[in-house]
Amino acid sequence: MSYLEVFKQVKNKEISPIFLLYGSETYFIQNLKKHISNTVIGHKENENLSTYDLEEVPIQEVISDVETYPFFGDRKLIIASNPVFLKAKPDKLPFEHDLDALQQYVNNPVDYSVLILTAPYEKIDERKKISKFLRKKAAVVECNPLKDHELNKWITNIANSLKITINHDVYEIFDAELASDLNLMQNELNKLAMYVGEGGTVTKEIAEDLIAPTANSTSLRLVDAVIERNLHKAITIFKDLEKMKEEPIALIALLAFQFRMIFRVKLLKQKGYSQFQMQKQIGAHPYVIKIALSREKQFSKQKLEHIMDQLADADSAMKRGQMEKDLVFELLLYELVK
């Protein structure tokens, strides 16, 4: 099941006795946990909430707690993280997980407890008996990063829940500034909703004024300025980053990350890799790959190698204290643009 499908069910108070939330998108896992918790035990009934780490506690102990009747209220919530037994190659632990006990419970869950298993793994091993059993009997939710075509749908759903309208050109700003951090995007949407009010419309001008720039998104604009050979724009962005208390050494690391990603994507593209294959190979967020792909055609392989040498030299000069860090960075920008 998809995150959005299960999120709607939870909002409608349709709660499964057992959830498996797996994937690398932490925002989705945390958000579902929060809404399930609010529905099952409310905001304050922490006496009926238990949390376990399955790298430290065997699953049979968790099941024993799940089957114990709650002392307070009508229902209890048990959250167990890191079910290593769902991985293709489970980590070695000093104890054994009794998967028969889990399977028996999944087959006949109690009605006074809700069990959430959270697996921060991109995939679970679908070949395993317990994985197949959970697929059949529990609410199994994939919580991996959104694909490009899913992001706008997700933003629209959030906007609808906040009862606001977002103009089409605002989606481009979200894509450029916040696509790699859904938690930050949610916060920015909440802020925009408070500003325009219920029934209001978020225009591009409002979004540009209110959305807080991040160091990562601003470093992307810095790369754009270098591509455009616009020294004035590059220096202005650098000054904005200084106001955000970003150290020049950290900014070199951000630029190095961006150009190194462009370089790796260029090499993989030359080998015939698709965008999806690049994402798998590099292990980066889909948005990061998408941006690198849009930039790589601006540079030759030799130019990218030269830029990375320049970044390494500037980093070394700062660490040796040869001159003021901000001056080193401005000279670096001049060289990159030139």
The domains located in the chain, with CATH, are 3-142 (3.40.50.300), 148-210 (1.10.8), 215-337 (1.20.272.10)
Q: Which phi and psi (to 5°) does residue 204 adopt?
A: -60, -40
Are 139 and 7 a contacting pair, CB within 8 Å?
no
Taking residues 273-283, report their average pLDDT.
87
Which residue in 161, 173, 166, 168 sits closest to 213, CA to CA? 173
> Amino acid identity, residue 229?
R
pLDDT higher than threshold 70 for residue 320:
yes
Task: Report the SS3 class of residue 117.
Answer: strand
Q: Specify which of 54-58, 123-127, 220-224, 286-290 reaches the highest per-range mean pLDDT.
A: 54-58
> pLDDT value at position 214?
64
> pLDDT value at position 211?
76
Report the relative pairing of strands 76-81 and 113-119 from DSSP bridges.
parallel
Give the Cα separation of 126 and 170 in Å (integer).
Answer: 39
pLDDT higher than threshold 80 for residue 243:
no
Which residue in 282, 309, 308 sits closest to 293, CA to CA? 282
pLDDT higher than threshold 70 for residue 318:
yes
pLDDT higher than threshold 90 for residue 187:
no
Percent of the chain's residues with pLDDT above 70: 93
> pLDDT value at position 176?
64
> pLDDT value at position 178?
67
> pLDDT value at position 70?
87
What is the overall mean pLDDT for the chain? 86
pLDDT tens digit sequence for 293-317: 888 988 899 999 999 999 999 999 8
pLDDT higher than threshold 90 for residue 255:
no
Write out the E strands in 67-221: 76-81, 113-119, 139-142, 165-166, 201-202
- Kindly indicate the confidence band of residue 217, based on its pLDDT and cuts at 50, 70 and 90: low
> pLDDT value at position 247?
83
- Kindly indicate the confidence band of residue 16, based on its pLDDT and cuts at 50, 70 and 90: very high
Taking residues 166-182, report their average pLDDT.
75
Give the Cα separation of 47 and 189 in Å (integer).
Answer: 33
Burial letters 47-82, b for 16+ CB under 10 A, else e? ebebebebeebbbbbbbeebeeeeeeeebbbbbbbb
pLDDT higher than threshold 80 for residue 57:
yes
